[in-house]
Amino acid sequence: MAERTITLEVFRYRPDSEQEPTFQSYTVPYREDWVVLDALNYLKDETDGSLSFRWSCRMGVCGSCGMMVNGTPRLSCSAFLKEYYPGPVRVEPLANFPVERDLIVGIDDFMNKLKSVKPWIVRDKEQPVSEGEYRQSPAQLATFKQYSMCINCMLCYAACPVYGLQPDFVGPAAIALAHRYNLDSRDQGQSLRKEVVFSHEAVWECTFVGECSVVCPKDVDPAGAIQQEKALGALDLVKSVLMPWGSR
């Protein structure tokens, strides 16, 4: 019996020789247990070594292999070929990001935005190690655990039309991570983050399309995090009007 195959239409952009991207069709063996990343690795090993894409863990943890698969942002390591059989499967770089080469996008903008919300535990004053760890109850952990599952895969940015149309938007993952640290009982950095998080380019730019939460492979629900930060931002605004002398 002839081996079953499936066609991949892969976005190619070679900036050293091309002005515009093209699509290249490849036929790969169809295996039920293969994901799109397996097919791309097969192509790179057997057919076309120049094909470029990012990947690392192959188990949905590292967040490196995000791509548009048939128009939807997916981790290519968890997008099974059988979901798309008999194909063809169109593989493109993550939407809304500049393309560096083939399926590789530039992530500088995301990294800068992530850093701008200080996604780490901020303390007014670090307590000495001799005083022990910062203790936390299971209930306190539960308030933010969901948001700490973010793997920075950027699928949410690729799904967000607001980020596509308004590239200054701080975006879903960065705001969700700001929310994660704001909710953390050990953190004291909310007042430092609010200048960015409550700005027009952050929570107020979001129109709650909700697709970021739909495509999130870790069920982080960044759309929910943004709406919750909006409520905190509105409260902060009311407080600043009613009590302008209040703590800043």
The least CB distance from residue 13 to other proteins, in Å, is: 5
Name the minimum Å distance from CB 87 to other proteins.
20
Q: Cα(147)–Cα(117) distance, rounded to whole angstroms? A: 14
By beta-carbon proximity to other proteins, the closer residue of 127 and 207 is 207
In this complex, which beta carbon is closest to other proteins, that of residue 34 or of residue 143? 143
- Judged by the rule CB under 8 A, the positions of this chain that interact with other proteins are 13, 15-16, 20-21, 71, 95, 98-101, 106, 138-139, 141-143, 161, 164-165, 207-211, 213-214, 221, 223-224, 227-228, 230-231
| Closest listed residue to residue 24, CA positions, set 70, 91, 79, 81 | 91
Residue with tokens 């948001």: 147
Q: How far is CA 173 from the centre of its chain?
A: 6
Nearer to other proteins, 190 or 213 (CB): 213
Contacts of 226 (CB under 8 A, 6+ apart): 172, 175, 176, 179, 203, 206, 208
What angle separates helix 222-242 from helix 172-182, to the nearest 10 degrees?
Answer: 60
- For other proteins, the closer CB: 38 or 211: 211
Q: Closer to other proteins at the Cβ: 61 or 214?
A: 214
User: What is the C-alpha separation between 15 and 17, in angstroms, rounded?
Assistant: 5
Smallest distance, other proteins to C-beta of residue 23, A: 13
CB of 166 to other proteins, least distance (A): 11
In the complex, least distance from residue 90 CB atom to other proteins, rounded to whole angstroms: 13
Q: Which two tokens stand for residue 130?
A: 């001799």
